[in-house]
Structure 1
Amino acid sequence: MENKVNVRKAIKQDSSKLLELIEHKAEFDRSMNGFDGEISTTKEKIERTLFGDYPFAHALLLEVDGEALGFALFHYRYSSFSGEPSIWLDDLLVIGEHRSKGYGAELMHALKTDAKKSLTSHISWTASPYNTKAHEFYKKLGALIERMDCQRPYFRWAICG
């Protein structure tokens, strides 16, 4: 039986689930030597900063058969020189045992659809130098390494038409 996959914009009622997914992301980043601290966000901070009067970021939730198994957290940026907005992807995560099933690509393509609707020029992000599996995944999507900061790649995925 095929799993029902859905990617949707997170809403305020998803704040607890987002916090749980952020905790998973912190664990994963620790395993990649990309983060060694503790998270200090809370459900209340998420409600205020993502779903308040002035949302500072946005999230997409990936659900499989109604269960949230991944997320993408992003915000918009603006270049005064080009006069164009872009998206900075801060977090992308599919929970451990559900990786390598195409769910990350579902999230990224949903984000690209949003990027097209909002007329952004590109999506940018960085990845741990040690997460070479992610580097290959991003390249397969069509993202390019825009620059390197020592061993850390910065990716750019152009939004065309």
Structure 2
Amino acid sequence: MNVRKAIKQDSGKLLELIGHKAEFDRSMKGFDGEISTTKEKIERTLFGEYPFAHALLLEVDGEVQGFALFHYRYSSFRGEPSIWLDDLLVVGKHRSKGYGAELMHALKTVAQKSLTSHISWTASPHNTKAHEFYKKLGAEVERMDGQRPYFRWAMYG
């Protein structure tokens, strides 16, 4: 098992993983739209002159089996950057093997190296297994939007 930063040549794999994430989110009633991104959009927006987001890839036996897609945010009031985790997915048969935790800990390392104050994200109200997973990592529910939890994982040193 290995976690690494995605590179431009991974754009097609990222598109495939985003498709898997959309299917999973539909099953959790967290997404009901269609994907409009393309390999070319991913190449331009993640690996172009101005990267708007970043991705970590999880490899098992040399094959990509999961990802974390994130971007930086900045609070002018606190004068601190943070990370917004947009997508986290481990492909079906590889779930519940600790790989999601590996991805999250790799993201935490990125957060600490870049001196961000915290990582934030949301999860489907129906994905209670994920809620427990995030709490076990040390994340807290920062707020609720109806039944939808918003998580915050504080970074220390």
TM-score, length of structure 1 as denominator length: 0.97
1:113 alignment partner in structure 2: 109
Q: Residues of 2 paired with 1:143 and 1:86: CA distance?
A: 14
* Same amino acid, percent of matched pairs: 89
Please point out which of 16, 22, 46 is paired with 2:42: 46
2:68 alignment partner in structure 1: 72
Please point out which of 118, 124, 127 is paired with 2:120: 124
What letter corresponds to residue 142 of structure 1 in structure 2? G
Q: Secondary structure, in 3 states, of the residue corresponding to 2:19?
A: helix
Post-superposition, which runs of at least 4 consecutive aligned residues in structure 1 deviate over 3 A? none
Q: Residues of 1 paired with 2:31 and 2:85: CA distance?
A: 17
Structure 2 unaligned residues grouped into runs of 5+: none
Q: Residues of 2 paired with 1:147 and 1:137: CA distance?
A: 17
1:101 alignment partner in structure 2: 97
2:134 alignment partner in structure 1: 138
Cα-to-partner distance string for 1:88-143 (whole Å, 9 max, x where unaligned): 00000000111000000000000000000000000000000000000000000000
TM-score, length of structure 2 as denominator length: 0.99
Q: Residues of 2 paired with 1:69 and 1:98: CA distance?
A: 7
What letter corresponds to residue 43 of structure 1 in structure 2? K
Q: Secondary structure, in 3 states, of the residue corresponding to 2:85?
A: strand
1:149 matched to 2:145: yes
Cα shift at 1:77: 0.1
2:80 alignment partner in structure 1: 84
Aligned residues: 157
What letter corresponds to residue 77 of structure 2 in structure 1? F
Cα-to-partner distance string for 1:1-32 (whole Å, 9 max, x where unaligned): xxxx1000000000000000000000000000
Cα shift at 1:37: 1.2
2:30 alignment partner in structure 1: 34
Q: Secondary structure, in 3 states, of the residue corresponding to 1:44?
A: helix
RMSD value, Cα:
0.3
Cα shift at 1:49: 0.2
Give matches, 1:12-31, under 5 Å: 12-31=8-27
What letter corresponds to residue 81 of structure 2 in structure 1? P
